[in-house]
Amino acid sequence: MFNLSCQTDLSSRRCVWVNGPVIVGAGPSGLAVSACLKEQCIPYVVIERADCIASLWQKCTYDRLKLHLPKKFCQLPKLPFPEDYPEYPTKKQFIAYLENYAQKFDINPQFNESVQSAKYDEACQLWRVVTVSTIGSNPSETEYICQMLVVATGENAEGIVPEIDGLQEFSGEVIHAKDYKSGEKYTGKKVLVVGCGNSGMELSLDLSNHNANPSMVVRSSVHILPREIMGKSTFDLAMMLLQWLPLWLVDKLLLILTWFILGNTQKYGINRPSLGPLQLKNQHGKTPVLDIGALEKIRSGDIAVVPGIKRFNSNSVELVNGETLDIDSVVLATGYRSNVPYWLQETEFFAKNGFPKTPFPNGWKGKRGLYASGFTRRGLAGASADAIKIGQDIGKVWKEELNQKKKKPFLFPIPRPDIALRFRFFGRIKFSLPTSTKAGLNRSTRPGGNNYLIVDMFSVAEKRSLPLAFKNDEDEVREAAVNNFEDGACELRHMAAHLI
Ligand SMILES: Cc1cc2nc3c(=O)[nH]c(=O)nc-3n(C[C@H](O)[C@H](O)[C@H](O)COP(=O)(O)OP(=O)(O)OC[C@H]3O[C@@H](n4cnc5c(N)ncnc54)[C@H](O)[C@@H]3O)c2cc1C
Ligand SMILES: NC(=O)c1ccc[n+]([C@@H]2O[C@H](COP(=O)([O-])OP(=O)(O)OC[C@H]3O[C@@H](n4cnc5c(N)ncnc54)[C@H](OP(=O)(O)O)[C@@H]3O)[C@@H](O)[C@H]2O)c1
């Protein structure tokens, strides 16, 4: 869980300067941006809170999950799915594809680091991104400093747990859909599935397939569409029709065809919203359900549909229609939210709900080197579209800067206000550490009282393979490891350790 109040041991804080963008999140969006940068030889650093890539897919999804759109809409830029993959790859196949993607583009995220805050420092005109390690009993803090920040933490970063009266008093198991793996352990159990989006429908189907007794809460309305119409993916068909027809007409056609295939869902307690499925998605971001068998189970009574919840008791739930159901477990398929507002200190580009204010297709670029990838409400296809645009834009900026004859020095904040540092490049990178009383101190004080270190970014980039040495007051020179240097990040841990 995202934790803002995490206590950190500041003595272990390190400072990493990144030559190139910092990408937050190693899901499909972060990987896609990384690949687009890699291809142009632009260095970057990817930060990921989990211990693996695509953690949503690897850790927070159920076993039976398959992509619900045809594979051509789900592949990331520059690498198609293997030809022998089925039209709707399984979760396992999708993860294997992503692992291969990361390997092919040599993407090596900084795992187990959760971004706790990121803000633009106006004085030095750089982003300061603070992470806390997510492993170990003594969490350490790292500050990444960079010119560009790519937000790729996803639309589904945190599971939403609604506040429902009495939920705390319920004595059975309560889990969010992100922690559900299989219906195996629920055989013979009465399970209340709260929510009827794609998760609620598929978990109810899985529970029923494992001989559990699921009741699915439908508190409002939902569009259920068949996954395929006349052998063609419904999504594909909609995309095709949209090339010639207006959205409202495509919606009407989809609903007519759906009626012929699925019949009237209303008689099973599932009302349709007044807006059409595509209009609803566009205006409110609500995804239609693509049915893969749950409706058949609803028809046969294997999945019960129940109205909204009034309150929970110790081993039962009261519904708004006055009915009470005895239940053993609850699965909250109540959706997800973006976590961007918890860590990104920026309100011009991102709205309070953690999505860019500007809708698709223009919500990928903010100001001051800020980018957003994967917030289009268009799944993997949207993530890929963003990544291509972001890659091109960063590539343009990067080339322009490289072509500048005279590079502007970047101001680099240092952790101790009473000590100023200067380093220059003479074949070896030297850090000289004058005391604050020493004459000739190369100190630059900015509003707010911070000291800054002047760094020539391009010298670092060009001299990447050089050894790094410390030079202290006594003229002792100590070699220091330079972690992540090949990724364009200048590791300053030793320097910070020396100062603190
Ligand atoms: C059950 C389920 C099934 C889905 N099926 C499909 C489908 O079939 N087709 C489709 O197109 N879309 C599908 N989606 C939507 C899906 O979210 C996206 O397709 C895809 O995962 C988005 O990729 P992403 O990289 O933007 O986000 P994510 O996959 O969520 O990746 C974001 C990454 O950022 C990391 N992160 C988050 N916060 C921080 C932080 N503060 N610091 C560091 N790291 C952080 C996370 O750990 C995660 O690894 C599905 C979603 C769910 C929940
Ligand atoms: N196979 C797949 O590819 C697959 C599978 C699962 C999910 N997904 C994707 O994952 C994303 C998230 O889907 P999701 O189904 O997890 O979330 P979702 O689409 O946001 O649906 C959340 C559901 O929970 C209901 N809900 C929320 N709070 C409630 C409460 N207090 N009481 C009763 N009901 C409540 C909502 O009802 P209201 O509508 O009334 O608010 C809605 O039905 C979507 O993009 C989806 O397409 C894909």
Cβ of 225 below 6 Å from ligand 1 = no
Closest ligand (CA of 161): 2
| pLDDT tens sequence across 188-247 | 999 999 999 999 999 999 999 999 999 999 999 999 999 999 999 999 999 999 999 999
Q: For position 440, what pLDDT does the model report? A: 23
* Residue 375 near residue 366 (C-beta atoms within 8 A): no
Ligand 2 binding pocket (C-beta < 6 A) is 65, 67-68, 156, 162, 164, 177, 194-200, 202, 217, 219-220, 222, 287, 308-309, 333-336
Where on the phi/psi map is residue 491: left (φ > 0), alpha (ψ -120 to 50), or beta? beta
Could you tell me if the CB of 50 is within 6 A of ligand 1?
yes
Which residue has the least CA distance to atom 1 on ligand 1?
61
Torsion, Cα 193 330 302 227, to 10 degrees, reads 30
439 CB-near residues (< 8 Å, 6+ apart): none
pLDDT tens digits along 139-167:
888 889 889 999 999 999 999 999 999 99
Q: Which residue's CA lies nearest to atom 30 of ligand 1?
A: 154
Q: Which of 51, 58, 65, 153 to mutate to test the pocket of ligand 1 (most atoms within 8 A of CB)?
A: 153
**Calpha distance 169→165 (Å, rounded):** 9
**Pocket of ligand 1 contains residue 29 by CB under 6 Å:** yes
Give the number of other CB atoms < 10 A from CB of residue 122.
11
CA 350 vs. chain centroid, Å, equals 14
Alpha helices (H) in 210-343, listed in sequence order = 234-242, 247-262, 277-284, 294-299, 340-343
Whole-number pLDDT of residue 65: 97
Domain ranges of the chain: 13-157+338-407, 162-335, 423-497
- Any ligand 1 atom below 6 A from CB of 47: yes
- Mention every residue, 6+ apart, whose C-beta is less than 8 A from residue 403: none
Ligand nearest to the CA of 158: 1
Taking Cα atoms as reference points, which of 48, 329, 11 lies closest to residue 139? Answer: 11
Tracing tokens 């999140």 back to the chain, one arrives at: 25
Report whether 22 contacts 129 (CB < 8 A): yes
Task: Say if residues 398 and 369 touch (Cβ distance below 8 Å).
Answer: no
**For ligand 1, what atom is nearest to the CA of residue 336?**
53
The pLDDT value recorded for residue 124 is: 74
Distance CA 60, CA 118 (A): 25
> 13-157+338-407 and 162-335 share one CATH topology?
yes
What gap in Å lies between CA 109 and CA 486, rounded to an integer? 13
Angstrom distance (rounded) from CA 460 to CA 463:
5
Sign of the Cα torsion 102, 108, 113, 115 reads negative
Sign, Cα dihedral of 358, 151, 387, 158: negative
* Sign of the torsion formed by the C-alpha atoms of 336, 342, 348 and 352: positive
Q: Please give the Cα distance from 74 to 46 (Å, whole number).
A: 21
- Following DSSP, what letter does each residue of 210-222 receive, concatenated? TT-EEEEE--SB-
**Residue 89 to residues 33, 381, 448, Cα–Cα distance (Å):** 22, 15, 53
Tokens in use for 34? 């990384």
Q: What is the pLDDT of residue 300?
A: 97
Pocket lining: 24 vs ligand 1, CB cutoff 6 Å: yes
Residues of the chain with pLDDT under 70: 1-13, 404-500
CATH architecture, domain 162-335: 3-Layer(bba) Sandwich (3.50)
Interatomic CA distance for residues 338 and 353, integer angstroms: 7
Q: Which of 50, 60, 44, 99 is nearest to 76 (CA)?
A: 99
pTM (2 d.p.): 0.85
Q: Which 8-state DSSP code applies to residue 344?
A: B
| 16: β partners | 144, 491
Q: Residues 318, 321, 322, 324: what is their CA dihedral angle, to the nearest 10 degrees?
A: -40
What is the rounded distance in angstroms from the CA atom of residue 402 to the CA atom of residue 462? 11
Which residue, among 372, 376, 383, has the nearest Cα to 57 in the 3D structure?
A: 383
Beta bridge partners of 489: 18
Q: Which CATH class is domain 13-157+338-407?
A: alpha beta
| Exposure letters 71-91 (e unless 16+ CB within 10 A, then b) | bebbbbbbbebeeebeebbeb
